[in-house]
Chain A
Amino acid sequence: MSFGELRDIGVSYDKKNLILEDLNLDIHKGELLSLLGPSGCGKTTTLRVLAGLIETVKGTFTLDGQDMTHVPVHKRDFGMVFQSYALFPHLSVFENIAFGLKLRKVEVPSVTKQVQKIVDICGIKGLEKRFPKQLSGGQRQRVALARALVIEPKLLLLDEPLSNLDAQLRVQMRTSIKRIQQELGISTVFVTHDQEECFSISDRVAIMQKGKIEQCDNPETIYSNPACEMIARFVGFKNFFSLDQKDLLGITLPAKIQQAKLVCIRPEDIGFSPSGTLRGTIEVRTYLGNSYQYEVNTPAGMLTVSSNKTPACEVGESVSMAFPADALVFLER
């Protein structure tokens, strides 16, 4: 049994349409699990279910063997960082961080010590007396993280915590989050719509679409073995063929594949070679810096191929292409 388990979760705002439908998710101890998907896919809803901010219509949530489904938010002991940070504007940074400790009736000297410790970890030393309005975006982010972490939560929930930061700071912050998360060994669920951000720091990624989890695995597996066409497109596959076209491409179905609907390949895995199995004419050539990307018109449709072969092929040139068997991915849906 996993550390945290969501089983058959259903959520509906209007009692007619389900936002989440029979959602199942496992959270392992100490891991950083990301929920990734386009906006409206239900990833934030899932996070709010974990936090207890949304009532479910069905399903259960257990954590560490304990049924949490109907435990109210304030008794869950989870830390949450909101997209807007939600720092309390009338309290100083110190008071913001100490908020959760004071509610737990921790003694004053101990509060000071614990706040000091987390302030050091989060790198916001010297800002304790400031008010949230006097902080920069990155500092607010760190304060929000410190406030969630100081209560030593069983689970840390992050709702698109980096989306309000500029690109450079985002890369820096995601590394900090990963470092702090590892340092404290805290199980974390991270919601994002940014694929790069997600793959770079997650131990596992759950890709969501329309209220369902399409695939939940480690980033490497998702990258090399996407479960469906949506995910394949998401991770950079550009050429999709139906299986009827396999003779046209000159490929054979491996024995271990029982059933498949589609086959796909990345632009960089298609090779130009005289012994290629498919011929086509180059229609568009774009320069990408370290390689060229070609749009090739073939009997199997328009293909996108990138190649760093020199000299570069010219528009109108006829080429033949090979499809290495190990680069082909067969999809069931």
Chain B
Amino acid sequence: MYKHRFVTIIAFITFAFIFLPLILIIVTSFNSADTISLPLDGFSLQWFGKVFKSRSLVQSFKNSLALALVASFIGIFLGLLSSIALVKKPGKVSNALLSIFLSPSLIPGIVIGYVLFHFLVVKLQIPLLFALVLGHLLVVMPYCVRIICASLKDIDESLEEAARTLGCPPVKAFFLVVLPNLRPAILSSFMLSFINSFNNIPVSMYLKGPGMNTLPYAMMNHIEYNYDPTVSALSVMLMGMTLVFMFIMEKSMNSQSLKNETVRSE
């Protein structure tokens, strides 16, 4: 394989830039000192324990998890329905609708949050929890529509027709033939939706309220008042969670792509 020293150096610097801060966080989270500091004082797991003792962090983690799951599921469901409509009836109206579906990803989150706060919370007096779900739905919808739409367009229309000629009623044909082939698209929409909702600060910032906080915001609050490694420990756990999440996704994607492997015979 051809290797160029310059390319190697650039790659090394890039990886260092990405991973060094993460490694520092991991190292400091095991430190026994009261602040995030180097050199290390001694090994300790106390900060991991502290995370579970902090009621605001635990509660906001549960909130964020539930919010991300609910928003992703609704987003995928609506994304699936709208993709079917957009792909089945192509034309000017569909193109315009697609742009509208994708627009929340172009509008700054801070604007969406602000607008939703005024409209949903101040004007319509909608409960905060519900407003948060709606706000996060706006955040995740573009990913779901974009990914599922693209994948649905790639699926040969005659698959459904073939199923129908073999004796399958139209709706059943969708479930038996189209949906299984959308699985990779649905999985990756879920992954992107979940991560984007879980990470979101700007929209949550406006719509959170007493007793209804999200994890990223709670973490920001925490480090504002305490400079201890609790948040480092929490970050390490989140990284671990992400790794497990990605591993599961990768596994289920692989079992799909195995079928797509081309074997030459004859």
Listed in ascending order, the chain A residues whose CB lies under 8 Å from chain B are 51, 53, 72-80, 82-84, 86-90, 99-100, 103-104, 130-131, 133-134, 136, 138-139, 147-148, 151, 157
Are the C-beta atoms of B165 and A74 separated by less than 8 Å?
A: yes
Bound CA span A148–B265, Å: 24
Across-interface contacts of A79 in B (CB, < 8 A): 165-166
Q: Identify which of A76, A90, A100, A138 contacts B181 (C-beta below 8 A).
A: A90
A82 touches B161 (CB 8 A): yes
Give 8 nearest A-B pairs by CB, closest first: A100-B166, A86-B158, A86-B162, A73-B164, A134-B263, A131-B259, A80-B165, A82-B158
Cα A157 to Cα B180 with chains together (Å): 26
Interface pair A136/B265, CB less than 8 Å apart: yes
Identify whether the interface residues of B are mostly helix, strand, loop, or mixed. helix
Select which of A83, A89, A103, A131 is within 8 A of B166 by beta carbon. Answer: A103
Q: Is the CB of A88 within 8 A of B177?
A: yes
B178 → chain A closest CB, angstroms = 10
Given contacts A88-B177, A90-B259, contact A76 B159 (CB under 8 A): no
Nearest-neighbour CB distance to chain B for A106, whole angstroms, equals 11
B167 A104 Cβ-Cβ under 8 A: yes
Beyond contacts A90-B180, A104-B167: 13 other A-B pairs, Cβ-Cβ < 8 A, are A51-B161, A73-B164, A74-B165, A74-B169, A74-B170, A79-B165, A84-B158, A86-B162, A89-B259, A89-B260, A90-B259, A99-B163, A131-B259
Interface residues of chain B, those whose CB is within 8 Å of chain A, are 156, 158-159, 161-170, 173, 176-177, 180-181, 183, 259-266
**Residues of chain B with a CB closer than 8 A to A157's CB:** 165
Contacts of A99 in B (CB 8 A): 163, 166, 168, 176
Please indicate the chain A residues that have their CB under 8 angstroms from the CB of B162 in the complex.
80, 82, 86-88, 147
The residue among B161, B166, B177, B260 with the most chain A CB atoms within 10 A of its own CB is B166
Query: Closest Cβ of chain A: how far from B230's Cβ, in Å?
Result: 46
B225 to chain A, nearest CB (A): 53
| A138: B residues at CB distance < 8 A | 266
Residue of A nearest to B257 (CB): A133
CB-CB < 8 A to B264: which residues of A?
136
| Beta-carbon contact of A84 and B259 below 8 Å | no
Please measure, in the bound complex, the distance between the C-alpha atom of A151 and the C-alpha atom of B159, giving whole angstroms: 17
* Given A89-B260, A90-B181, A133-B260, A147 and B166 contact (CB-CB distance below 8 Å): yes
A84 and B166 within 8 A (CB): no
**A88 to B174 Cα, complex, angstroms:** 12
- Chain B residues within 8 Å of A104, by CB: 167
Once bound together, how far apart are the Cα atoms of A80 and B164, in whole Å?
Answer: 10
Nearest CB in chain B to that of A127: its residue: B265
Contact of B167 among A77, A84, A139 (CB under 8 A): A77
Q: Is the CB of A86 within 8 A of B265?
A: no
B166 and A134 contacting across the interface, CB-CB below 8 Å: no
CA distance A332 to B219 in the complex (A): 89
Q: How far is the CA of A133 from the CA of B156 in the complex (A)?
A: 14
Closest-by-CB residue of B relative to A153 is: B165
B221 to chain A, nearest CB (A): 47
10 A-B pairs within 8 Å (CB atoms) are namely: A53-B165, A80-B162, A86-B156, A88-B181, A90-B181, A90-B259, A99-B166, A136-B266, A148-B166, A151-B166
Separation of A73 and B262 alpha carbons in the complex (Å): 33
| Closest residue of A by beta carbon distance from B265 | A136
Q: When A133-B261, A136-B265, A136-B266 are in contact, do A88 and B165 touch as well, CB less than 8 Å? A: no
Q: Which residue of the partner chain, among B161, B180, B266, contacts A86 with CB atoms under 8 Å? A: B161
Name the distance in Å between A150's Cβ and chain B's nearest Cβ. Answer: 9
Residue of B162, B170, B266 with most chain A CB atoms under a 10 A cut-off: B162
Contact A86 B263 (CB under 8 A): no
A-chain residues with CB within 8 Å of residue B263 when the two chains form the complex: 130, 134
Q: A130-B263, A136-B265 are in contact. Are A103 and B167 (CB under 8 A)?
A: yes
Looking across the interface, which residue of chain A has its beta carbon closest to that of B155?
Answer: A89
Given known A-B contacts A86-B156, A88-B159, A90-B259, A51 and B165 have beta carbons under 8 A apart: yes
Q: Is the Cβ of A74 less than 8 Å from the Cβ of B158?
A: no
- Which chain A residues border B161 with CB–CB below 8 Å? 51, 53, 73, 80, 82, 86
Measured between C-beta atoms, what is the minimum distance from A113 to chain B in Å?
A: 18
Q: Using Cβ atoms and an 8 Å threshold, which residues of chain B touch A90?
A: 180-181, 183, 259
Q: Are B259 and A73 in contact (CB under 8 A)?
A: no
With both beta carbons as reference points, the residue of chain B lying nearest to A73 in the complex is identified as B164
Query: Which B residues touch A136, using CB under 8 A?
Result: 264-266
Q: How far, in angstroms, from A51 to B263 measured CA to CA in the complex?
A: 33
Q: For B156, B167, B170, B264, which residue has the most chain A Cβ atoms within 10 angstroms?
A: B167
**Whole-angstrom distance between the alpha carbons of A295 and B165 in the complex?**
52
Give CA–CA (A148, B163) in the complex, Å.
Answer: 10
